[in-house]
Amino acid sequence: MNTPKLFVLVGIAAITLSAGAQTRLDMALTVSPQSGAAGMTSKPPLMLTLQDALQRAKANSPDFRSAVTELGLAHGDKVQARAALLPNVNFATQYIYTEGHGAGPGLGKFIANNGVHEYVAQGTVVQDVSGALLADYRRTAALEAVAHAKLEIATRGLVVTLVRAYYGYVVAQRKYATVQQAAIEARIFFNITQKLEKGGEVAHSDVIKAQIQYNAQQRDLQEAQLDMNRTRLELAVLLFPDFNENFAVVDDLRLPAPLPSFEEVQAAASKNNPELRAALASVRAAGHEVSAAWGGVLPSLSLEYFYGIDAPQFATYGPYDPSLGARIKNLGYSAAATLNVPVWNWGANWSKVKQAKLQREQANLELSFAQRQLLANLRSFYQELQTSRAELESLAQSADLAAESLHLTSLRYQAGEATVLEVVDAQNTLTQARNAYDDGQVRFRTAQATLQTLTGTM
């Protein structure tokens, strides 16, 4: 009977992993088994860090690119509003022909024209003077600031999405390795119970329970592989425009450093929160919108300066004039000033003023709500981060204790002091503890990225 017991000791030593061995296994899992078309390619997989993945996600995310486009459009609106404030220079060339009625030279049938032949070639400088134009420029500048803030919001939101997908794939690989090792352990334990049954040391019920455990681990291994492939595809959608699966990610999950104090986080949020900046810029834009609406009620001034030709000949000099003793100079200039005073337009301008005031009231209300929401989210997100950080140490300790428990329970089983149910329970507990630790790390990274949407970097 000593030979089977010796075999059990060797088998238990072979299947029991310490927490340190699991950590080394986790750090080695930077590349997952290739699946599908990715596994058939001859090219080595593209190794990606989190920062590499973020750069690729920015280039391929439609929501992020939409925010970039909105910023470009807002900047174009500001450029156009600024151009409306500055003098505009134009050049126009025109030829006007009028049919003559034959009564005399230079006389035409259409008295609105200056002559039978009229050539116009003039440069024009136009300057509009209006408070509405200045208010519109300031409004577009504020809206550009809103677009900047929304782009930052989109960037931070993309980081949260990517962190969840990136580390979801990393942990899926870890869980696959954990279940794979558990399946190996279950197979070895199943073989051990068969040999012990042949030696008459255990009942056949132990073999049945070990086989049930082995079958369950095989099913869990298939599910873990399915989940690993699913998370891989989800990450590939975010990173590549051509749906490339030939890539691997770096597993940089480790026990994080201590957290900053809530006061430090609160100070960072007050300076770097994009939602608050967007709300403040929206209030400024709404105020300038009111000023621009008032511009439609008040008088406006337009100045124009013309220089060029407006004569019967397309030339700088016309025919010789005996009375002047010289040729007539066709080049000349003129200027015009127009004061436009709105008198009556059926209340349309006053309606625009009322609309702008309503929008300003709404913007002020949204600013107040954004301030309250910031305080609530800041406390909630920080508490989530704090709790997940504290639980990581407990989860790591539980994984170490579960590994030690499996080792001791296995030794007790070979000594006849433990049942097969205790061994199976210890195996399941170790798998659950390691998976819980991996899930806890993803929870911490996600909570950290979520808090960074309010504070910027930590």
Task: State the first-to-last Cα distance of the chain, in angstroms, to the nearest integer.
Answer: 62
Q: Are 165 and 224 in contact (CB under 8 A)?
A: no
3-state secondary structure of 77: helix
Percent of the chain with pLDDT over 70: 87
Q: How far apart are CA 78 and CA 334, in angstroms?
A: 32
pLDDT at 133: 87
Kindly report, residue by residue over 69-121, the tens digit of the pLDDT. Answer: 999 999 999 999 999 889 989 999 988 777 666 555 555 455 556 677 788 88
The pLDDT of residue 29 is above 80: no
The pLDDT of residue 398 is above 70: yes
Q: How far is CA 139 from CA 75, 88, 263, in A?
A: 12, 21, 35
Confidence of residue 234 (pLDDT cuts 50, 70, 90): very high
Strands 46-48 and 247-249: parallel
pLDDT at 324: 76
The pLDDT of residue 37 is above 60: no
pLDDT at 43: 81
Burial of 156 (0-12, 13-18, 19+ CB in 10 A): buried
Is the model more confident about 317 or about 229?
229
Kindly report, residue by residue over 267-322, the tens digit of the pLDDT. Answer: 888 888 898 889 999 999 999 999 888 888 888 889 999 999 888 888 888 888 78
Q: Are 73 and 151 in contact (CB under 8 A)?
A: no
Tell me the whole-structure pTM to 2 decimals.
0.75
The pLDDT of residue 11 is above 70: no
Kindly report, residue by residue over 442-457, the tens digit of the pLDDT. Answer: 999 999 999 989 988 7
pLDDT at 96: 78
What count of Cα atoms within 13 Å lies in the side-chain half-sphere of residue 121? 10
pLDDT at 310: 85
CA dihedral 432, 438, 439, 442 (to 10 degrees): 180
The pLDDT of residue 58 is above 90: yes
Q: How far apart are CA 72 and CA 48, in angstroms?
A: 30
Q: Are 286 and 353 in contact (CB under 8 A)?
A: no
Is the model more confident about 174 or about 6?
174
46: closest CA among 239, 332, 300, 294? 239
Q: How far apart are CA 124 and CA 103, in angstroms?
A: 36
Angle at alpha carbon of residue 173, lines to 170 and 178, rounded to 5°: 125
Confidence of residue 368 (pLDDT cuts 50, 70, 90): very high
pLDDT at 271: 86
Q: Most confidently modeled of 165-174, 294-303, 318-327?
A: 165-174
Confidence of residue 13 (pLDDT cuts 50, 70, 90): very low
Task: Residue 48: count other Cβ atoms within 10 Å of its Cβ.
Answer: 18
3-state secondary structure of 102: coil
Kindly report, residue by residue over 351-365, the tens digit of the pLDDT. Answer: 989 999 999 999 999
Burial of 439 (0-12, 13-18, 19+ CB in 10 A): middle
Into which CATH architecture does domain 2-60+130-298+342-455 fall? Up-down Bundle (1.20)
The pLDDT of residue 38 is above 50: no
Weakest-pLDDT range from 42-46, 105-109, 376-380: 105-109
pLDDT at 319: 85
Contacts (Cβ under 8 Å, ≥6 apart) of 434: 22, 174, 178, 399, 402
Kindly report, residue by residue over 236-255, the tens digit of the pLDDT. Answer: 999 999 888 899 999 988 87
* Helix/strand/coil percent split, the chain, to 5: 65, 15, 20
Mean pLDDT of the chain: 84
